[in-house]
Structure 1
Amino acid sequence: MRSALRPRRAGARIALAGALAAALTAVPASAQPESGRYPDLSREVLAADDGWAAAEGGTTGGSAADAAHVYTLRTRAGLVRALDGGSDVPKIIRIAGVIDANTDDAGRPLSCADYAADGYSVAGYLAAYDPRVWGAAKPSGPQEEARRASAARQAERVTLTVGSNTTLIGTGPHSGLRGAALQIEDARNVIVRDLELSDAYDCFPVWQPNSGGLGDWKSAYDTLWLRGARNIWVDHVTFDDGRRPDSAEPVYFGRNFLRHDGLLDITNGSDLVTVSWSRFSGHDKAMLVGNGDGVVTDRGKLRVTLHHNEFADVVQRAPRVRFGQVHVYNNRYVVPEDAHDYRYSIGVSTESALVVENNAFTTPAHVEAADLVKSWNGSALLARGNVFNGYPVDLLTIYNAYNSGSERDLTDQVDRLPELYGPVESAAEADRAVARHAGAGRAGR
């Protein structure tokens, strides 16, 4: 792999003369000027070497949009109109402030009670499907039918579909979407940047009695879900559960009443994705790459680059990978002192191949280096240059040593090494840079 003598910083930009922010000609992300106090990055495109999303034509988003398809929006209704049902017309959608997806067409807030239909209630649902009475069968009958009807009403409000050739970007330090389930499905060439994506809250989780052996609650919404998406760049985005973390939810049937699913899931044959300078925090299942052990159509796809991201107080899936070829470099992982539910960071699953280099892991004493990696019939993990609490760590050797006899050993035999990526810093340098520059409101600075 190649490296560079000097690391690329999040705010590095080459000043160009003229009002390029308004021009129709796209310029690379390293060559966009600042305009005023907050830079207009809406016509930036992904740099030619910036991860898998730079391959096969690169990622330019809506940079070719004409003036009629450049929007600055403050309401859900305006956002829905601009998204145009997921059309592939080049468009730039600039989010000013926070748009709440749980609002009606007049902008009035909607609560879970507003979506509830046909007599659904949490108390009624719990009484109907208590395993001590109902048993281990899937829920069915009036309360489950009412839950489905209620869930459909919420989904109609909060599910927002982004089409091809789109740039979705914030205009200020606290711009974003709250309560939205943003989806990029069967689309290509999309940029999502400089946004706070928060609290994709499911009012109507379903009980799955046979999940994991003990049963579990399943919520419907990922904050951002890529399904069959191609050439996608996610940059300087903050992902979290907002003011309603699942850790504050009650326990029903012995399981936490989960209201959120993934923060960023990349599934169903998605391909050529770069996730950079973003922040994932305060969540259970952060990022899933590949959605099933039997989905063999994912072979040769799910090529993803993760660099300069922060995973703070994330329980698991940072990421978990099936089938994909994933390059994980220069990321920052922070497990807080009180995180007693931490499970793992790097998940190596069926036919996956991960290159994990120059990442910094900081954990409390009860989390050991062997806990950082988990494998389910995993294939390959090439790990180098990583540090654990400030000291070099060989993730592959430690994983195999601690799990010998109980889990399949991993190898460092990765068939295809990453080819497109920017300068790789040392883990210590990346740790400092990510702490300072990752997340929404910091792009171009």
Structure 2
Amino acid sequence: MTVRRSLAALAGCTALVVAVTGTSSASATGGGSPDVLPPRDGWASLDGGTTGGAGADAAHTYTVTTWEELRAALADSGDAPRIIKVKGTLNATAEGCGAFEADGYDFDRYLADYDPAVWGRDTPVSGAQEDLRAASAARQGAAIKVKVPGDTTIVGVGKDAGIVGGSLQIQGVDNVVVRNLTLESPLDCFPQWDPTDGATGAWNSEYDSMVVYGSTHVWVDHNTFTDGEHPDSSLPSYYGEVYQQHDGELDVVRGADLVTASWNVFADHDKTLMIGNSDSAGGTDRGRLRVTLHHNVFRDIVERAPRVRFGQVDAYNNHYVVPVGGYQYSFGIGQESQLVAQKNAFTLPAGVSAAKILKKWKEAPVTADANYVNGKRVDLIAVHNAEMPEETLTSGAGWTPGLRTRVDDPRTLPGMLARHAGAGKRR
């Protein structure tokens, strides 16, 4: 029996206090209180629940104040539960992009070599500068990506704990809790130019703030995901296209399962939250990708809040504050998705129709009822189908969520979530 299973009976508590003493290689502290997901709180509460590092001993309880200390704490040997408390802001790219550049890489040379007027738009880029760009990108990836072991809690201390430019990789493990962090999106120093992407080409970037890849029992709670000091509006353009240096904020992909994301803020981003990353991944994703999203704020998000392929996703009691310009959609209905979207609140600016909230990518049923737009109850499917008959949606996802601890009146969500959602606002 794992520690998580043995602690399942304690999941109704909001914290489990562990007395610890001594130190370890990444500045361990003398105390820990890892939070435990309450019973019935979304999909992550199923099959034994999610306890993270509850039960960690002194040797596996850490306080980290730098990115290097976090990497050391995560890499510390052994399979014992661990609690990692983040104090202050950890900067994964403090030395700047130049620290990752491969010898001989020259961005000005890159721009000259692959200018569409020279290279054209029919062939993917290749050659010396593209090879050096890829080598530079590999250096950045190795520096900013960290793997999170199973039976781990990462929790921010106080109201100003966070990570800038890092990417938490929750890959192939079970039982992880991440709470109370401000996660500023990684800025890809070396986006790739793809002249064949669309009619005019595009810059493509990597690195999400957090990726749940093939993992189970993951609770993401009271965090703030943001582009911080580098919003898309601040990015330059080359070849007439935005030099896109951001990927997603949170991705749940490749057979991941039993995930609850609650009381987070997702802000100021384009492609925000993807659940299932490929239409061809049915072999790994079908019957999995069960995700609950509740009491989150999606503010000034362009699209993917979330986009769903496969899986059963329960999105309820979230508040969507739609930007004035550039909005594409909130819920993306994708391959074999079974999305339930209930009792959410939407704040739409003048000129943006509620018909855009849902976006049909593939034929799949969806449940969307009791949602409110600007304080009024709106049938999102009916509005969408009336205004967009070319992509008619079918009502009824075919299942009824049962793992909910509280369901609030959608009209109370804007004020409630402004006070309580995000890092530093834990209830």
Same fold judged by TM-score > 0.5? Answer: yes
Equivalent in 262, 266, 274 of residue 288 of structure 1: 274
Partner of 1:325: 312
Match of 1:375 among 337, 356, 360: 360
- Match of 2:192? 206
Deviations along 1:213-268, one digit per CA (max 9) or x if unpaired, are 43221111001011101110000000011101122111122221111100001111
d(CA) in 1 for partners of 2:70, 2:48? 28
Cα distance between partner residues in 2 of 1:413 and 1:114: 52
User: Which residue, 34, 39, 48 being the options, matches 1:48?
Assistant: 39
- Among 149, 157, 166, the residue aligned to 1:180: 166
Q: Which residue is 1:299 aligned to?
A: 286
| Aligned twin of 1:18 | none
Which residue in 1 is equivalent to 2:420?
437
Please give the alpha-carbon distance, in whole angstroms, between the structure 2 residues aligned to 1:332 and 1:413: 22
Task: Give distance in 2, aligned partners of 1:329 and 1:175.
Answer: 27
Deviations 1:74-105 (A, max 9, x none): 01221111101796431000001111112xxx
Change in CA separation of 1:348 and 1:100 when aligned onto 2, cut-off 3 Å: same
Q: Which amino acid aligns with 1:47?
A: P
Q: In the alignment, which residue of structure 1 is the partner of 2:217?
A: 231
Shift of 1:28: 3.5
Alignment of 1:103-114 (within 5 A): 109-114=94-99
Q: How many correspondences in the alignment?
A: 407
CA distance in 2, matches of 1:373, 1:26: 39
Tell me which stretches of 4 or more aligned residues in structure 1 moved more than 6 Å: none
Could you tell me how far 1:29 is from its partner in structure 2?
A: 6.1
CA positional deviation for 1:27: 4.2
Q: Indicate the residue corresponding to 1:423 in structure 2.
A: 406
Q: Name the CA distance, whole Å, in 2 between partners of 1:348 and 1:373.
A: 7
Q: Which runs of 5+ in 2 are unaligned?
A: 1-6, 18-30
3-state SS of paired residue (2:325): coil
State the distance in 1 between where 2:177 and 2:12 align. Answer: 12
- Residues 246 and 29 (structure 1 numbering): CA distance in 2 closer, same or farther, change over 3 Å? farther
User: Quick check: 1:313 aligned with 2:304?
Assistant: no
Gap runs ≥5 in structure 1: 1-23, 35-39, 103-108
In the TM superposition, residue 352 of structure 1 has moved relative to its aligned partner by 0.3
Q: What RMSD, in angstroms, separates the aligned Cα atoms of the two structures?
A: 1.9
Q: Is the 8 A contact 1:25 1:63 kept in 2?
A: no
Q: Could you say which residue in structure 2 is the equivalent of 1:276?
A: 262
Amino acid at match of 1:318: A
Deviates more, 1:252-261 or 1:272-281: 252-261
Q: 1:159 aligns with which of 127, 136, 145?
A: 145
Contact 2:16–2:35 (Cα < 8 Å) also in 1: no
What is the distance in 2 between the residues matched to 1:401 and 1:395? 10
**Alignment pair present for 1:251 and 2:237:** yes
In 1, Cα distance between the equivalents of 2:64 and 2:234? 32
Describe the superposition over 1:331-362 as per-residue Cα deviations: whole angstroms up to 9, x where unpaired. Answer: 011123xx311111111111101110111100
Q: How does 1:379-390 map to 2 (within 5 A)?
A: 379-390=364-375
- The structural deviation recorded for 1:182 is 1.1
Of 295, 319, 327, 1:342 maps to 327
TM-score of the pair, normalised by structure 2: 0.91
CA 165–258 in structure 1, closer or farther in 2 if over 3 Å, else same: same
SS of the aligned residue for 1:306 comes to strand
Match of 2:4 in 1: none
Identity %: 47
Q: Post-superposition shift, 1:65? A: 1.0
* CA offset digits 1:36-57 (Å, max 9, x no partner): xxxx983221011100000111
Following superposition, the deviation at residue 431 of structure 1 comes to 2.5
What's the TM-score once normalised by structure 1's chain length? Answer: 0.88
Distance 2:174 2:195 in 1: 37
Q: Is the 8 A contact 1:184 1:229 kept in 2?
A: yes
CA contact under 8 A between 1:61 and 1:165: conserved in structure 2? yes
- CA distance in 1 between partners of 2:368 and 2:411 (Å): 16
Q: Which residue of 2 aligns with 1:11?
A: none
Per-residue deviation at 1:369? 0.5
CA contact (8 A) 1:200 1:223 kept: yes
**Displacement after TM superposition at 1:164 (Å):** 0.5
The alignment status of 1:397 with 2:382, answered yes or no, reads: yes
- Alpha-carbon distance between aligned partners in 1 of 2:8 and 2:339, rounded to the nearest angstrom: 36
The structure 1 residue matched to 2:63, chosen from 69, 72, 92, is 72
Q: Where in structure 2 are the equivalents of 1:350-365 lying within 5 Å?
A: 350-365=335-350
Which protein, 1 or 2, shows the higher relative CO under an 8 Å CA cutoff with sep ≥ 6? 1
Alpha-carbon separation, structure 2, partners of 1:162 and 1:438: 24
CA distance in 1, matches of 2:209, 2:14: 30
Alignment of 1:113-192 (within 5 A): 113-135=98-120, 136-192=122-178
